[in-house]
Amino acid sequence: ATIHDQILERGDGGELHQFAEDGQPILTTAQGGPVADDQNSLRIGARGPLLIDDFHFREKIFHFDHERIPERVVHARGYGAHGFFETYESLAAYTKADLFQRAGEKTPVFVRFSTVAGSKGSFDLARDVRGFAVKIYTKEGNWDLVGNNIPVFFIQDAIKFPDVIHAVKPEPDRAFPQAQSAHDNFWDFISLTPESMHMIMWVMSDRAIPRSFRFMEGFGVHTFRFVNTKDESTFVKFHWKPKLGLQSVAWNEAVKINGADPDFHRRDLWQSIQSGNFPEWELQVQLFDQDFADNFEFDVLDPTKIIPEEILPPQPVGRLVLDRMPDNFFAETEQVAFMTQNVPPGIDFSNDPLLQGRNFSYLDTQLKRLGGPNFTHLPINAPKCPFAHFQQDGHMAMRNPAGRVNYQPNSWGEGPRESPTNGHRPFASEEQGEKVRLRPESFADHYSQARQFYISQTPPEQRHIAAALTFELSKVQTPVIRERMVSHLMNIDQTLASTVAQKLGFQSMPEPAEAAVPTRHDLEPSPALSIVER
Ligand code: HEM
């Protein structure tokens, strides 16, 4: 609604008084009081001190003083758009999720793309992972598929998340630099964290400098579950495939663009949608059962591994179209609250320890960032289906329970009821055992898929990876960190390791890093992983 409409909506005849002669609304205070003079504050005499009874001045400055909210602790810089998800055909055999039941059904969505490490005001073309967060307003509640443009992650356990993020963000004493160029803390952490090697190959590749949001893939990363009406579960991995294909910029292009236009990606999305050129992605799913999981050569609960697409071809199940920019960046893109734990009936979690940790973190962080427990009252976060619960009060409560009853069971026959048949019921976990702090042995191979990714790249892409590693490590001041990184690269690809070592001026090669389990050299390059044909 425009300001004009809002004023009309509020009016009960009074609006006649709140319009100027030219039909524009009269400027008012937030309390609705008409303002006579917005140019001069109230003072004693023309050159005297200001007066505290200038309530318009005080209200105006007070509100301005409080315009900022904390930026997201990660993914602070982002850009969003509205659109819809259209289901191709019923997936009822696998999931009871309502949005997947009827071919052709369109469900509204909001998507926010982001960089991870930079602050809210950083530039768009940093070498970084891109967030690809999708909020789908289904008829049975919001489903947030909070993904990235890279299908794996740095760490295997959410307890390491603060460490990887502290290491990548500005160093505490000097407060620079961010992801654009390397720094010792980041490479120190990475070199001490072999599980990050697969992700590092992706981050050093052209994937980490996309040409635009419209040319990026998106991945749910974790293994999730579909659950059908018979309570049968199928494992699922989610992939968004851009209709325009994948494209990246080269590093020297990225550096120039960042200088010339730090808003390059957001401008691109704005212009394409405003000109009716709606970007589109296909949702593809990799579906598999427990038997496949038991026989697959890596653990499907390990978020540092993919299931190669030629082993398990993804199936297209729908499309996502972005066709409308937000009316207000702050109200929508800044205040949108994605949370991995938002899943409708028919979609469930796996025991991936990174996913399980995320399910705690997002709710917790929104409470702080959005200033209280009522952020679902904001239109961008509210479900678009009917909803009813007994939550009440708290800061900015706008949807308190109506009537007498705010608890259940009650004797008055009022209020919402549980629904044992429709409600979300967690899929039964068969895990048993002692309480332990342990990584499964099946998570121990940190190099094979890193190698598989590297050898799947075309020669120019491989050169870009070597150049990126050389550039980044050349900024590292501490020799032992460089050596440790090269010793990891030796387990990934000998030529890559020696190219980087040579360019960094190594006199001799270090010993390869000790691998927890032998690296597999029998894995074929994965053509489905290859990016741009250049
Ligand atoms: C924000 C993706 C791992 C905590 C985000 C956003 C994305 C994302 C896309 C931005 C959401 C937006 O646009 O508003 C991922 C992916 C992960 C991952 C794909 C791994 C596969 C984690 C982990 C944690 C975490 C392990 C914590 C244990 C957060 C927090 C935010 C965030 C606190 C800020 C949320 C906000 O303020 O709105 N993540 N993340 N993430 N993520 Fe993650």
Q: What is the DSSP string of 445-477?
A: --SHHHHHHHHHS-HHHHHHHHHHHHHHHHT--
The confidence score (pLDDT) of residue 166 equals 95
Residues with CB under 6 A from ligand 1: 72-75, 78, 112, 114, 131, 133, 146-148, 153, 158, 161, 221, 303, 336-338, 354, 357-358, 361-362, 365, 369
Single pTM value for the model: 0.94
Please give the structure tokens belonging to residue 142: 């919001």
Number of Cβ atoms within 10 Å of the Cβ of 12: 5
Nearest CA to ligand 1 atom 26: 158
DSSP letters of 57-80?
HHHHHHHHHT---PPPSSS-SEEE
Answer for the pair 108, 82: CB distance below 8 angstroms, yes or no.
Answer: yes
Cα 74 to ligand 1 centre (Å): 7
Cα 517 to ligand 1 centre (Å): 30
Cβ neighbours of residue 209 closer than 8 Å, sequence gap 6 or more: 125, 127, 248, 249, 250, 251, 254
Cα dihedral 341, 346, 352, 355 in deg (nearest 10):
-20
What b/e sequence results for 250-264 when a residue is b if at least 16 CB atoms lie within 10 Å of its CB, and e otherwise? ebeebbebbeeebeb
Q: Which residues are annotated as a binding site?
A: 72, 112, 161, 358, 362, 369
Answer for the pair 155, 354: CB distance below 8 angstroms, yes or no.
Answer: yes
Q: Taking CA 375 as the corner, what is the angle to CA 369 and CA 381, rounded to the nearest 5 degrees?
A: 110
**Nearest atom, ligand 1, residue 354 CA:** 26
Nearest partner of 345 among 449, 423, 246, judged by Cα: 423
The confidence score (pLDDT) of residue 181 equals 55
Catalytic residue numbers, as ranges: 75, 148
**Residue to probe by mutation, ligand 1, list 74, 196, 207, most atoms within 8 Å of CB:** 74
Answer for the pair 108, 349: CB distance below 8 angstroms, yes or no.
Answer: no
| SS3 state of residue 492 | helix
Nearest CA to ligand 1 atom 20: 153
- Print pLDDT tens along the chain (534 aa): 455 555 555 555 545 578 888 888 999 999 999 999 999 999 999 999 999 999 999 999 999 999 999 999 999 999 999 999 999 999 999 999 999 999 999 999 999 999 999 999 999 999 999 999 999 999 999 999 999 999 999 999 999 999 999 999 998 888 876 555 558 999 999 999 999 999 999 999 999 999 999 999 999 999 999 999 999 999 999 999 999 999 999 999 999 999 999 999 999 999 999 999 999 999 999 999 999 999 999 999 999 999 999 999 999 999 999 999 999 999 999 999 999 999 999 999 999 999 999 999 999 999 999 999 999 999 999 999 999 999 999 999 999 998 999 999 999 999 999 998 888 887 777 789 999 999 999 999 999 999 999 999 999 999 999 999 999 999 998 999 999 999 999 999 999 999 999 999 999 999 999 998 888 888 877 655 544 433
Burial of 334 (C-beta count, 10 Å sphere; 0-12/13-18/19+)? buried
**Nearest atom, ligand 1, residue 80 CA:** 13
Nearest CA to ligand 1 atom 3: 358
Q: Which residues are annotated as a binding site for heme?
A: 72, 112, 161, 358, 362, 369
Cα 394 to ligand 1 centre (Å): 25
Beta bridge partners of residue 236, listed in sequence order: 224, 287
Helix (H) or strand (E) holding 479: helix 479-492
Chain center to CA of 311: 27
Burial of 477 (C-beta count, 10 Å sphere; 0-12/13-18/19+)? exposed
**Residue to probe by mutation, ligand 1, list 69, 71, 72, 130, most atoms within 8 Å of CB:** 72
For the stretch 456-463, contacts whose Cβ atoms lie closer than 8 Å and that sit 24 or more positions apart, written own/partner, are 456/525, 456/526, 456/527, 456/529, 456/530, 457/205, 457/530, 457/531, 458/530, 458/533, 458/534, 460/534, 461/205, 461/206, 461/530, 461/531, 461/532, 461/534, 462/496
Cα 168 to ligand 1 centre (Å): 14
| SS3 state of residue 161 | helix
Per DSSP, the chain holds a count of helices (H) and strands (E) of 14, 10
Beta bridge partners of residue 80, listed in sequence order: 112
Answer for the pair 344, 138: CB distance below 8 angstroms, yes or no.
Answer: yes
Nearest partner of 279 among 271, 289, 287, judged by Cα: 271
Nearest CA to ligand 1 atom 36: 72
**Nearest atom, ligand 1, residue 303 CA:** 21
Radius of gyration (Cα) for the chain, nearest Å?
Answer: 26
The confidence score (pLDDT) of residue 526 equals 65
The confidence score (pLDDT) of residue 534 equals 35
Please give the structure tokens belonging to residue 440: 């499964």
Cβ neighbours of residue 479 closer than 8 Å, sequence gap 6 or more: none
- Distance between CA atoms of 345 and 95, rounded to whole angstroms? 9
- Distance between CA atoms of 279 and 320, rounded to whole angstroms? 8
Nearest CA to ligand 1 atom 14: 338
- Distance between CA atoms of 489 and 496, rounded to whole angstroms? 7
Cα 363 to ligand 1 centre (Å): 11
Cα 75 to ligand 1 centre (Å): 7
- Distance between CA atoms of 229 and 93, rounded to whole angstroms? 8
**Residue to probe by mutation, ligand 1, list 75, 109, 166, 329, most atoms within 8 Å of CB:** 75
**Nearest atom, ligand 1, residue 73 CA:** 34
Backbone conformation region of residue 394, classed left if phi is above 0, alpha if psi is from -120 to 50, else beta? left
The confidence score (pLDDT) of residue 173 equals 87
Looking at this protein, which amino acid is placed at residue 380? I
